[in-house]
């Protein structure tokens, strides 16, 4: 910066001001400075600038499972929105571990990110957000919504979507449904279970004839499904996430039940390229990319106006009814 100033015959202060457009400067000198910058190949040091302004022009994102396609999509959406605003994205993955989540949070905060987007880990510690309660750094909770937290949040309408899905199954004649629910500490999954229970009640289905399988391990899922199919006359299976769907489909295959004719099947989130996946699976599609975009928008809004009440945004999910729930007959 000193070099530029010297070459242009001005003070570094002027250089700073032409760079930031932060005060009027004579077009003549302005030109000279620009030329000097060009010739010098000078680039502003974003870090020093951030230290001085205590604003880093960056936002941090912590996802709970970078391997899941839905989260990969959210990362994609966040990256897009962040880049569009000229910010930089700092990415971390907690891999569903409370320790890694805590460490990532500290690290990003130490880097003075201007905002933080967090999809909490399944095992997330209740105290992990304490250091953010003062609102110094805007936080938005992504995907996994915690009712009582005083933060902005973005998720999907899990409860209603599950209801629509089960209504559809009920209309097709299904009376006994098995839900592969996984780790129900995850609010997203708990909401979907709650939606299922809503449906059971509303549709007058017999609660004792339904099965909620709250495990994640494939072998356990298979055992539970086997039991449900044989002893509870379950005719439809609903998986609450992509990895659970994979485990369930493998289990059904091992149990020699054909998806479609033998047992109806539906899933949340689903697989990439659903039109190429056979059989075509009835799927509740999460607007993962848009959720990422929305999260960034909320951060931006919060940076403008920090004392508005926290807001929870739930995006609509698209329910695609396909083959896997069409070929079964009572």
Partner DNA sequence: CTGTTAGCGCCTTCAT
Partner DNA sequence: ATGAAGGCGCTAACAG
DSSP string covering 233-256 = ---EEEESSHHHHHHHHHHHHHTT
Q: C-beta of 308: minimal distance to a copy of itself in Å?
A: 27
Residue 1 engages DNA in binding (rule: CB under 7 A): yes
Q: Which of DNA, a copy of itself, none does residue 136 bind to, with CB < 5 to 8 Å depending on kind?
A: none
Q: Which of 227, 282, 226, 274 lies closest to 253 in space, CA to CA?
A: 226
* Nearer to DNA among residue 25 and residue 315 (C-beta): 25
Q: Does 250 bind DNA (CB under 7 A)?
A: no
Residue 185 tokens, joined: 């500490």
Site string for a copy of itself, 60-99 (x = CB under 8 A): ------xx-x--x--xx--xx--x----xxxxxx------
**Site residues (CB under 7 A) for DNA, limited to 19-38:** 19-20, 22-26, 28-30
Q: Which is nearer to a copy of itself, 182 or 195 (CB)?
A: 182
Structure tokens at 32: 């000279």
The answer to whether 285 contacts a copy of itself (rule: CB under 8 A) is no
Q: Among a copy of itself, DNA, none, what binds residue 273 when CB lies within 5 to 8 Å by partner kind?
A: a copy of itself
Which residue in 35, 39, 48, 106 binds DNA (CB under 7 A)?
48
Supply the minimum distance, in Å, between the C-beta of residue 40 and DNA.
11
Contact between 15 and 8 (Cβ < 8 Å):
yes
Residue 238 phi, psi dihedral angles, 5° rounding: -120, 125
Break the chain down into helix, strand, coil percent, rounded to 5: 45, 15, 35
Q: Which of residues 106-145 bind a copy of itself (CB under 8 A)?
A: 106-112
Contact string (CB under 7 A) for DNA, positions 52-81, x = contact? xxx---------------------------
**Options 7, 34, 49, 220; binder of DNA; rule CB under 7 A:** 49
Strand order in the sheet with 236-239: 211-213, 177-180, 236-239, 264-268, 282-285, 318-320
22 binds, among a copy of itself, DNA, none (CB under 5 to 8 A by kind): DNA
Shortest approach of a copy of itself to residue 52 CB, angstroms?
Answer: 9
Q: Is 208 helix (H, G, I), strand (E, B) or coil?
A: helix
Name the binder of 201 from a copy of itself, DNA, none, CB < 5-8 A by kind: none
Helix (H) / strand (E) element for 74: namely helix 69-84
Q: Which residues contact 242 (CB under 8 A, 6 or more apart)?
A: 68, 69, 70, 267, 268, 269, 270, 271
Residue 122 burial by CB count (10 A; 0-12/13-18/19+): exposed, middle or buried? buried
Q: For binding to DNA (CB under 7 A), which residues are involved?
A: 1, 9-14, 16-17, 19-20, 22-26, 28-30, 43-45, 48-49, 51-54
């Amino acid at each position: 910066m000193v070099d530029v100033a010297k070459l242009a015959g001005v003070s570094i202060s002027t250089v700073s001001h032409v760079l930031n457009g932060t005060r009027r400067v004579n077009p003549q000198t302005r030109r000279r400075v620009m030329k000097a910058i060009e010739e010098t190949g000078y680039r502003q040091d974003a870090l020093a600038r951030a230290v001085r302004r205590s604003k880093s022009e960056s936002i941090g994102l912590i996802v709970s499972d970078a391997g899941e396609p839905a989260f990969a999509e959210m990362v994609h959406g966040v990256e897009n929105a962040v880049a569009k605003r000229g910010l930089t994205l700092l990415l971390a993955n907690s891999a569903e571990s409370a320790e890694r989540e805590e460490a990532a949070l500290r690290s990003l905060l130490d880097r003075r990110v201007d905002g933080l987007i967090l999809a909490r880990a399944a095992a997330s510690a209740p105290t992990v957000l304490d250091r953010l309660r003062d609102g110094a750094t805007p936080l938005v909770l992504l995907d996994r919504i915690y009712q009582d937290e005083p933060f902005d949040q973005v998720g999907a309408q899990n409860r209603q979507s599950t209801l629509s899905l089960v209504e559809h199954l009920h209309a097709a004649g299904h009376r006994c449904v098995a839900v592969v629910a996984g780790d129900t500490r995850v609010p997203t999954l708990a909401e979907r279970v709650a939606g299922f229970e809503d449906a059971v009640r509303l549709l007058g289905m017999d609660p004792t004839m339904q099965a909620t399988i709250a495990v994640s391990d494939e072998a356990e899922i298979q055992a539970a499904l086997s039991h449900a199919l044989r002893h509870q006359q379950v005719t439809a299976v609903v998986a609450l996430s992509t990895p659970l769907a994979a485990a369930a489909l493998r289990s059904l295959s091992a149990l020699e039940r054909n998806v479609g004719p033998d047992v109806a099947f539906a899933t949340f989130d689903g697989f990439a390229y659903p039109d190429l996946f056979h059989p075509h699976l009835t799927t509740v599609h999460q607007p993962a990319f848009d959720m990422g975009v929305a999260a960034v928008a909320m951060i931006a809004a919060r940076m403008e106006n920090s004392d508005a009440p926290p807001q929870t945004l739930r995006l609509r999910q698209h329910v695609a009814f396909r083959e896997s729930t069409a070929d079964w007959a009572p």
